[in-house]
Structure 1
C-alpha cells in the first residue's frame, strides 16, 4: 500500500473497541492456560497479574479514543524480557489497531515460551495485522527498517541507540528504558503501608521490572521498625521461593540465567552492607530475596539490580535526601518516586526538570497506579523518551497517543 493510501485509511474505532473487548473476554477465559503456558518462564502470580492489567487496558480503550483516528503504515515493536503478555497487548495489539502492518519480536531467551503463549492466545488468527517474528534481531531490523513509521522499544538506552541507528531519521522512536524509582520512607510514614509497597514492587517477577526501586530511603527514626518488619515478612516468604512450576511460589529463577553470575559479583562488592539473604545459584538462575543497608551519607545506589534486592539507605533529615536526588547520576534515569509520609524536600522536586506531579506518588506505588491507557515513564531521558525526526523528547510514553500526535496529527487528519 502506498504511503498516500495509508494516510486516507481511517480507524473504525467501534470495531476496534469490540475486538479489544472480545480479546479481554478471551484472556479471562483462558487464564489457566496462559498461566500454564508461561509456567516455565515466570511465577503464576505474575501471569495472573498480566491478565488483569491487559484486560483493564482492553476494556478501557475508549479512554484513548481520541488517538484512534487515522492509520499509519507500519509499527515495529521490540518486547522486553518481562511481562510478555501485558507488553504484547500494550506494544503490539493496541498499536496494531492503528497501523496497516505491525510486527513484534520477543527477546531470544523468551522465544520458546512466547510461541506457547501465542498459540494459547491464537494471535495470528485474532490479529492478522500483527506479525510475530522469531528471526535474529539483525535480520528483523533489516526487514523492518524501511517499512516502519514508528518503533516501540523496551530496553536499555544503549541497545536502543544501536537499533535506532538502523531506522530512518523520520521514524518515530518510542523508548521505554529504566528508572531509579526510589521509595522514600519518611519520619511520618505508615510503616506497614511502606513495607507492603516495598514487597510488592521489589519481589514482583523476581525484581525483573522497571518499576523496581534501586534504593529505599528510610528516615533513621523509622529504620529499625522498617527493617525488622521487612525481615519478618521476608522470612514468611521464604517457603514460596522456588521453581515457577509451583503455583504457590512468588519468587522464581531469574529469566536470564547469566544475570545470576552478575549478581554474584554485585553481592560480593556490597558484602559490607549485607543484612539478609544473598544466596545466588548461577546454575539455576535463582537469586533469593536479599537486603542490604548502606547509609545514604556513603553514597546513593543508582545501579539497577533486576533482582529481588531491597537496598535500604538510612538518612537523618529530610534535607539529606538531596544526597540522592541531586546526585549527578540521578537525573538521566529519573522516573517515579514513591513517598510514604510527608517530605517537603520531595515536594520541592516539582520545581525541577526531573519530576512533574504525575511522577511523585504519595503513600502508593507504581503497581497500584499504573494503567495501560495512561502515559508511563519519567522525565529522565534514559527512563523514557521519544525521538521525533531524530530529536530526543524526554517524558512518559503512550504508544497510541504518541503515534497519533507525531505521525497523524502533524500531517493533518481528515477527521
Structure 2
C-alpha cells in the first residue's frame, strides 16, 4: 500500500476560488476605479507625475481585467492570509496587483504600506473600497504596525509579498522564518543597451521615456546606459539637446515631464552621486534640496565593466561606452549584478543573442515599461531583485504570486475557465 505525499494530502484540505465570482468582483473593481478616476489621480499626483499616475491607472485596469484569466490559468488555491509590504512608489498599481487581485483568492490580505506612502495608499484603499462588493472590500485590512510587530503576522500567513530595499526584505525573511511563501522584489539597475544598429533618434526617445518615468523615481528606470561607440556621439548630443528643453512643473500638470522628487533622501542621494562623479557630468549636475529638485543630468563614464551604480532616483543618465559585447557580459557576471538582475533592454545589438544577460531577462527593442504585465510573471533571475523563498531557500526568477502559491499549495483539480 502506498502513502500519498504531503503536498497531495495538503491539497485535499484546500479549495480553489470561484472563477465566476472572480469575474464579477474584478469587473466591479474595474468599474470602481473608473468611477473614481479623478479622486485616484488627485491622490496619486501627490507622489507621481500626472503622466505616470495615468499610466498606473491604466495598468491597474488592465490587471483587473486579466485577473479571472490569471486565476484560471495558474490554478491558484484559496489562501487564508496574505501579508503585503507596499513600495514607496506605484501606490495604485502595487495595491491592485498585490492586494486587490489576491483578495479574489485570499480570505484576508494584511497591508503595510511604506511609511512615505501610507496616507496616500490608505486614501486609495478608501476610495476604491466604496465601489467594491462588501465581501471583497472586507478582505483587505491595513495596518500601521512597526516591522517588529508586523513580522509575527507574516509568520502566520500563507504568503508574504515584500517590495523595497533588499536589506529590509532579507531582514524580514529572517524574522518571519521558513513557513510562508515569500516574494521579495528589490531594486535593480535594469541596464539599457544601445547597440550599433540602433537608430539614434528612436534610441534617444526610448531612453528618455524609460529614465524619466515619474521623474526617474521608478524601480524599472535604467540606472546605466551602455552605448556602442558608433552611436555614442549622436546619442549624447541628442540627449543633451532634449534634456535642455524638458517641461518642469507641478505633479498635477498633464504636460509636466519633470517635477519635484517625493522624498529628501532621493535628492540627497543624487547630490552625493553627482558630487562623486563631477568630472563625468557633461550636462546638468545641479540639485536643490529645498525645492526637492534634481536637474536633468547626463554623465559619460569610461568603457569599464566595473561601473555598478547605486539605486538612483531622479533624472540621471549614466552613459558607459562599449565596443565588444563581452564587456556587457563581464559586467553582468559581477556578483553584485548576479544578485540584482531583473531586466536588460537591448536596442540594435544582435550580438547579444541569449534570453538573459547574466541574471537579467533580455528585452528586444523594448523597455521594462513596455512589457510589465500584472497578470504575468515579472522580473528576472536575480535573487535580491526577483526572489522567491520556499522552505528557507531564496531563488531568483520572474514572479507572480498566484503561480507561486499554486505550486506551493497545489489542488488536485479546479475550474478550467
Q: Report the Cα offset of residue 329 of structure 1.
A: 3.0
Where does the alignment leave 5 or more consecutive residues of structure 2 unmatched? 1-9
1:30 aligns with 2:36: yes
Q: Report the Cα offset of residue 198 of structure 1.
A: 0.9
1:135 aligns with 2:142: no
* Number of residue pairs the alignment of both structures matches: 403
Q: Report the Cα offset of residue 251 of structure 1.
A: 2.2
| Cα distance in 2 for residues equivalent to 1:56 and 1:76 | 23
> Which of 113, 121, 142 is matched with 1:106 structurally?
113
Residue-by-residue CA offset, 1:180-220 (whole Å, 9 max, x unaligned): 21111111112222112111111112212221112101111
CA contact under 8 A between 1:241 and 1:250: conserved in structure 2? yes
| Cα distance in 2 for residues equivalent to 1:380 and 1:304 | 15
| Cα distance in 2 for residues equivalent to 1:291 and 1:243 | 23
> Which of 201, 211, 218 is matched with 1:202 structurally?
211
SS at match of 2:388: strand
| Cα distance in 1 for residues equivalent to 2:106 and 2:20 | 16
Q: Report the Cα offset of residue 269 of structure 1.
A: 0.3
Q: Report the Cα offset of residue 69 of structure 1.
A: 4.5
> Which of 226, 235, 250 is matched with 1:243 structurally?
250
1:84 aligns with 2:91: yes
> Which of 264, 280, 292 is matched with 2:287 structurally?
280
- CA, structure 1 residues 279+318, in 2 after alignment: closer, same or farther (shift >3 Å)? same
Aligned to 2:369: 367
The 5 Å alignment of 1:391-406 reads 391-406=393-408
- CA, structure 1 residues 185+414, in 2 after alignment: closer, same or farther (shift >3 Å)? closer
1:188 aligns with 2:188: no
1:16 aligns with 2:25: no
- CA, structure 1 residues 309+334, in 2 after alignment: closer, same or farther (shift >3 Å)? same
The 5 Å alignment of 1:25-104 reads 25-64=31-70, 65-104=72-111
Q: Report the Cα offset of residue 227 of structure 1.
A: 1.0
| Cα distance in 1 for residues equivalent to 2:19 and 2:300 | 51
> Which of 238, 245, 251 is matched with 1:229 structurally?
238
The 5 Å alignment of 1:298-377 reads 299-344=306-351, 346-348=352-354, 350=356, 354-355=359-360, 359-377=361-379
- Which one is further off, 252-261 or 294-303? 294-303
- CA, structure 1 residues 348+31, in 2 after alignment: closer, same or farther (shift >3 Å)? same
| Cα distance in 2 for residues equivalent to 1:183 and 1:69 | 34
- CA, structure 1 residues 373+268, in 2 after alignment: closer, same or farther (shift >3 Å)? same
TM-score w.r.t. structure 2 length?
0.90
| Cα distance in 1 for residues equivalent to 2:304 and 2:57 | 42
SS at match of 2:336: coil
- Which one is further off, 113-122 or 372-381? 113-122
Aligned to 2:123: 116
